[in-house]
Copies of this chain bind each other. A is one copy, B any other.
Amino acid sequence: MVDLLDGKKAAQLADQEFSQRINDLKLMGITPGLAVILIGNDSASQVYVRNKKRRAQKVGINYQLFHLAENITQTAVLQLINKLNHDPEIDGIMVQMPVPPQIDAAKVMNAIAVDKDVDGFSFDNIGRLWSNNSGNFPATPRGIIRLLQQYEISVAQKHVVVVGRSNIVGRPMAGLLLNADATVTMAHSKTPNLAALTKQADILIVAIGQAEFITADYVKPQSVVIDVGMNHDVTGKLVGDVDFSSVSQVASMLTPVPGGVGPMTITGLLEQVIILAEKRA
């Protein structure tokens, strides 16, 4: 029988810890501040932003949403970021992706002060991650590391295969794992014979955006499988990149979708905000 890596439960445990840490900060007169910039009316983005708000406010973070019009100019976005960079009450700033075409995402992300770049998408923070320095690192990989820690799964000396090489998940995930002494294989859409590689993984992390792509044939018996996917199947049901029914027959531990990596992504973000606020103490 497969054991579930319950992200919802792990996120609740993390929230308890976060509430305590924020209480300690408030006793010192510090309230962690998170500014979220949402541009336009993408419906998925609105859901993500709402979920962040709920979780942030629950643990006591001062959550500020800046909802800008779809046709806002890049100059106006940069001015807002500049203002927030200088706001002593704001510890973290993030821009919800995707942004409309008139906005240069890389430029906007690199305009956020390095210390307030909670998403860790700026070149500077990516460089810090890959040179194993301290810095701000992306929420989803952070959340996955925390989920593994919660279940006492060490990555050191394990062979971890990461499928998918996005800037948001695959690449920073590989970097964090390498820094934690894992042997890491980075596979992607151009990888031939994918199953031959993934079948070697002690821990398999899948972030490819293809519904139920990873079946039991891709999985080493008794391994740990982390499913970062969020797709809708033909019936409209939310499913991961992993075929839960077959993989659960082979893996020893597996994240469900929903209730696996999703809640932990917000945990990763909140943790980063709190760490930044604690630097004010």
Contact = CB atoms under 8 A, between A and B. Distances in A.
Interface of A: 106, 122-133, 135, 156-157, 159, 165, 167, 171, 174-175, 178, 181, 183-188, 190-192, 197
A174 B125 CA distance: 18
Contact of A157 (B174, B184, B191): B191
A129 B171 CA distance: 11
A85 B171 CA distance: 31
A49 to B, nearest CB: 24
Tell me the dominant secondary structure on chain A's binding face. mixed
Contact of A185 (B123, B184, B190, B192): B184
Contacts of A135: 123
Contacts of A129: 130
Nearest to A179: B165
A30 B190 CA distance: 41
B133 A130 contact: no
B130 A175 contact: yes
Contacts of A132: 167
A193 to B, nearest CB: 9
Contacts of A167: 131-132
B187 A183 contact: yes
A264 to B, nearest CB: 23
A188 B197 contact: no
A174 to B, nearest CB: 7
Given A126-B131, A127-B127, A178 B157 contact: no
9 contacts: A122-B127, A123-B124, A123-B126, A123-B133, A126-B127, A178-B186, A178-B188, A183-B188, A184-B186
A256 B270 CA distance: 51
B178 A183 contact: no
Contact of A191 (B122, B183, B188, B192): B183
A167 B131 CA distance: 6
Contacts of A190: 156-157, 181, 183
Nearest to A135: B123
